[in-house]
Chain A
Amino acid sequence: MYDSKLVITGLAIFVILMTFPLWYNGGNAGDLPKVEKPTNYKQCVEDAAYMRTSHMVLLDDWRDEALREGKREKVKAGDIEVEKSLMNGCMMCHVDKAKFCDQCHQYAAVKPYCWDCHFVPKETL
């Protein structure tokens, strides 16, 4: 192999740089996001574990059911009934987007484009 010294040192530097965030943080994933839950309501439409992993699937299903199939009957969440809607359903209990949605979305570095069209509660357009 020609220039083996140069190539191997180059590769080593590359690997060290690429894995920098891993070993610098020593396996610590940072502070977990703190989500502010609604105080007046105890139960969501599904259990917390499902909502944490699959709320986006649920939202997509709701959208297709309401929009395409016209199935707009309300969904039970404990004692109350919720509209199949992000704006007029979810956000009625989870009133603060910044303290609820954004917490995890920032931590997971995802940028959903819900709010390009949908309104945040108390939002002035």
Chain B
Amino acid sequence: MDMKRRKFLKIAGLSTIAGIGAPAAFERLLNGEVPTISHASSQSESHSESEKPTGKRYGMLINLKTFREHQGMAEKCVKACHTVHNVPDFQNPKDEIKWIWETPYENAFTSKSHYYKNEEVHNNDALVLCNHCDNPPCVRACPTKATFRRDDGIVAMDYHRCIGCRFCMAACPFGARSFNWRNPRGKDEKSGRYFIDRATYNKEFPTRMRGVVEKCNFCVERLAKGLQPACVEATGHTKALIFGDLNDTNSEIRRTLSSNFTIQRKPEAGTLPSIFYIL
């Protein structure tokens, strides 16, 4: 037979690949496992109304209208949260730690582009925090289960287990997670200023340590005592932030949601956020 070794090896290799791959492909096609049309993630995983949810799912409604009427209130919320949770202030955007913060409109709502925009909405910052997603990508990314979704919908963290790999930060589409590049209990070498204000820090809540990721915990420790989250408390009676159970049809948040037009951040990411906005 007139065949070169090179040619023989080529044919042998190709037939092996075909032999291994073909039966599997045929089986899947014949069983109809491959859908003929693929869905975008936001379509296939919408909040289905047919399935009745059970248990609690905490959520929050942020009324940016009220925040625009009360200038300076958003800063108060940030301050309240960061004081209660001993969040360090490194005064450097590179290693900034934030649980709740203000961000320009186009950064918060990236997919909401307008040709003729409402100047007032666009020129005011939006208050953003962890969205406590129903389908949290950070939880799937975490290799140690340091971050997890509780039965009440809160995406919480166990800092003891965090190994600082920062996969969760890469997975979160909202940038809601911060890494402790420095020791939060330390102080600035030049000015001698402590990163956590010693006059106001909360002695009943721990700090974090260098090398762990941290984020908003929806004030689980305050909810356990029957209190509202610190940011909600900071808004007083303005109703700018409404916190409650999204699965309870009679809750204030559900009634407000059904009587107003609200949006979520980046619904196209398919993470099903629990934070809603009135613009």
Q: Measured between alpha carbons, how far is A119 from B185 in the docked complex, in Å? A: 11
Binds B, one of A20-28, A66-74, A98-106: A66-74
Is there an interface contact between A117 and B158, defined as CB atoms closer than 8 Å?
A: no
Chain B 187-201: CB-based contact to A (< 8 A → 1; otherwise 0)? 000000010101001
- A46-96 contacts to B (CB < 8 Å): 63-64, 66-70, 72, 87-88
Given the known interface contacts A68-B158, A125-B194, the answer about A87 and B204 at a Cβ–Cβ threshold of 8 Å is yes
- Whether B208 contacts A70 by the Cβ 8 Å rule is no
In whole angstroms, how far apart are the Cα atoms of A68 and B156 in the complex? Answer: 8
- How many positions in chain B have a CB within 8 Å of any CB in the partner chain? 21
Contact partner, B198, options A68, A72, A116, A125, Cβ 8 Å:
A125
B167 CB–A CB distance under 8 Å: no
Contacting pair A67 B203 (CB below 8 A): no
Residue among A64, A66, A117, A118 with the most chain B CB within 10 A? A117
- Set of chain A residues within 8 Å of B106, measured between Cβ atoms: none
Residues of A within 8 A of B224 (CB): 66, 70, 72
Is there an interface contact between A117 and B208, defined as CB atoms closer than 8 Å?
yes
Given contacts A67-B156, A125-B194, contact A119 B151 (CB under 8 A): no
A124 proximal to B (CB < 8 A): yes
Q: How many whole Å from A94's CB to the nearest CB in chain B?
A: 16
The total of chain A residues at the interface (CB under 8 A) is: 17
Q: Is the CB of A63 within 8 A of B160?
A: yes
* Chain A nearest Cβ from B136, distance in angstroms: 15
User: Known: A63-B158, A124-B198, A125-B194. Contact between A117 and B209, CB under 8 A?
Assistant: yes
B208 adjacent to A125 (CB under 8 Å): no
Residues of B within 8 A of A125 (CB): 185, 194, 196, 198, 201
Q: Which A residue's beta carbon lies closest to that of B187?
A: A125
Give bound CA distance, A117 to B160, whole Å. 10
Residues of A near B47 (CB, < 8 A) are none
B199 to chain A, nearest CB (A): 10
Tell me the bound Cα distance from A118 to B205 in angstroms.
8
B148 near A117 with CB under 8 A, answer no
CB pair A70–B159 under 8 Å, yes or no, is no
B150: CB under 8 A from chain A? yes
B220 within 8 A of A: yes
Residues in B neighbouring A64, C-beta threshold 8 A: 158
* Contact in complex: A67, B158 (CB < 8 Å): yes
Q: Decide if B66 is an interface residue (CB 8 Å cutoff).
A: no
B113 to chain A, nearest CB (A): 40
A117 / chain B contacts, CB cutoff of 8 Å: 159, 206-209
The answer to the question of B152 belonging to the interface, with a C-beta cut-off of 8 Å to chain A, is yes
Closest CB in chain B relative to A45 CB, distance in Å: 19
Q: How far is the CA of A56 from the CA of B239 in the complex (A)?
A: 44
The complex places the Cα of A64 from the Cα of B158 at a distance, in Å, of: 9
Q: Complex formed: what's the CA distance from A87 to B201 in Å?
A: 15
Residues of B within 8 A of A68 (CB): 148, 150, 156, 158
- 30 CB < 8 A contacts A-B: A63-B158, A63-B160, A64-B158, A66-B224, A67-B158, A67-B220, A68-B150, A68-B158, A69-B150, A70-B151, A70-B220, A70-B224, A72-B224, A87-B203, A87-B204, A87-B206, A113-B209, A116-B185, A116-B209, A117-B159, A117-B206, A117-B209, A118-B206, A119-B203, A119-B207, A124-B198, A125-B185, A125-B196, A125-B198, A125-B201
